Amino acid sequence: MISKALLPLLSASYASAYFAEANNAHLEFVATGTTSESAASSSDTTVFTVDSNSLKHHPSHLKALEDALAVQPPSLGFSAPHILDLFEAWMKKFEKEYETVEEKMERLLIFLENHVMIESHNAQKSTYTLGHNEYSDLTTDEFHKLMKIGDYFPEILIEENKQFNFMESLSSTTAAAADSSMLRGAAEAAAVERRRLELAASKSLFPDPDCEVDWGMKGLLGPVRNQGPCGACWAFSTIGAIEAAIAIEKFSTFPSPLDPSNMGLVTPLSEQELIDCDTNYEHGCQGGLMISTFNEEEHRNGLCTEADYPYIENQGTCASSACTPISGSIVKSHVDVHPRQTKLLKEALQVKPVTAAMVASDPMFQFYSKGIFQSPTCGVPTREMGKPDCQIMYENQDTCLPDINHGVLVVGYGTDKKAEGVQDFFKVKNSWGDSWGEGGFFRLARSDTDNPDPKKTWGECAILSMLSYPVMG
């Protein structure tokens, strides 16, 4: 049932703009890694093409939708034929098919409810915009089940995963002071990191790292993928970090000067290999954790390419012996970033992209299209200290861990000076396909000021709760 409280917020002209912003921004993000002012503001042209064979010509469908719309005020501006046109155009765009008329009508009504939510939000002043995507025919609960978004990563309960290799603040000494205190007994790996930092600085990868870092703009990230109906976000986050780490290491060994664009340094690696073979702590499509995956990979011989070991959206039998790991794909160690400290995550991102656990169950996040996402409740712990369901990960933790349920890759940070309200953000790579968000990425509100409320120090959507990056060999 569509909430009547949302209806007065809708604009009668909703049909002209509700998806164009997302599509234009998405296309440019895929092509260039950025969004121009014109693409970001072109909200007056619909991306859907009306089909002359619309379901509005079928009386049974039209009557069912009219019944659903009957409770809405006439001033709303909806018409059943037009909603049907929008739905059919959306079906065509995302190649949706339904087995029965009943199923199609059920999905149409869900689409309508989501459309109301999207337009209600976009009619208000906000730092981000919602838009339709391939998940527009799913309820919030269905979407969470599809993505296996649950209460916790199961590995959080394992004591071994509470042992961390915390990074020291680079600003407390020098960038070259990445000594063995950063890494668990890995002086050699620390020396490699030190050389990489020095080389990166000499090549001026990021002219103003205090203000902006974006590894995607340097062409050093792997492609955006779609995990589909498999809760293996942990594998996509881990692989994304490893792909970038290998590419950055290749880049750092080349002579200066270099144009980092289109150098072909990124080799897509196999998430499926992790899903099938890293089974000591991970649970395939049922969940996993990036830090425990790094721990497992430290005892393996590297990773195969995605082409040699393709993704199948399910867990299979380990077949790593049937392919050859690529050079440089052995994880020697990993570095963990102290939680709840924006400054330290920014410093880590000057080294390489960082895996992160977050809360992805905010209903608005399903339809994020562009802008800087923020929510007053996303990532705020709901459990109380001392209660049996309160999860403790770190020493001296003074508030329960938020209900983290999704793994992503933080790839940079910056400031959007054209944005209204919050302007500082982290840029994050997701695994829900490139039709979601800003070409598969999203921006998350960032605050460099510590919040006095302990429950609000985990970062927007708990992005500061669990952070790691690999050291490659």
Q: Which residues are known catalytic residues?
A: 233, 406, 430
From residue 60, how far is each of 83, 102, 112, 220, 329 by CA, in Å? 15, 11, 17, 52, 58
Q: Which residue blocks in 147-223 are alpha helix, DSSP H?
A: 187-203
221's CB contacts (< 8 A; 6+ apart) are: 215, 240, 243, 244, 247, 266, 353, 411, 429
179 SS3 class? coil
Instruction: Phi first, then psi: give them for residue 421, nearest 5 degrees.
Output: 80, -135
Picking from 159, 181, 186, 158, the residue whose alpha carbon sits closest to that of residue 168 is 181
**Interhelix angle 59-69/101-122, nearest 10 degrees:** 40
Cα angle 423, 210, 239 (rounded to 5 degrees) comes to 85
- Rounded CA gap, 443 and 339, in Å? 19
Torsion of CA 280, 284, 286, 288, to 10 degrees: 50
Sequence length of the chain is 473
CA distances in angstroms from 227 to 234, 241, 389, 407, listed in the order given = 10, 16, 29, 11
Cα separation, 232 vs 275, in Å, equals: 7
Displacement of CA 155 from its chain's centroid (Å) = 20
Contact 17, 43 (CB under 8 A): yes
Instruction: State the burial class of residue 413 (Cβ atoms within 10 Å of its Cβ: 0-12, 13-18, 19+).
Output: buried
Q: Is 100 helix (H, G, I), strand (E, B) or coil?
A: coil
Q: Please give the full DSSP string across 261-306, using - where no structure is assigned.
A: TT------B-HHHHHHH--SS--GGG---HHHHHHHHTTS----BT
Rg (CA), the chain: 23
Collapsing DSSP states into helix, strand and coil, what is residue 208?
coil
Q: Which residues pair with 55 in a beta bridge?
A: none
Q: How many CB atoms lie within 10 A of CB 393?
A: 16
Task: Provide the token pair at 177.
Answer: 């002071």
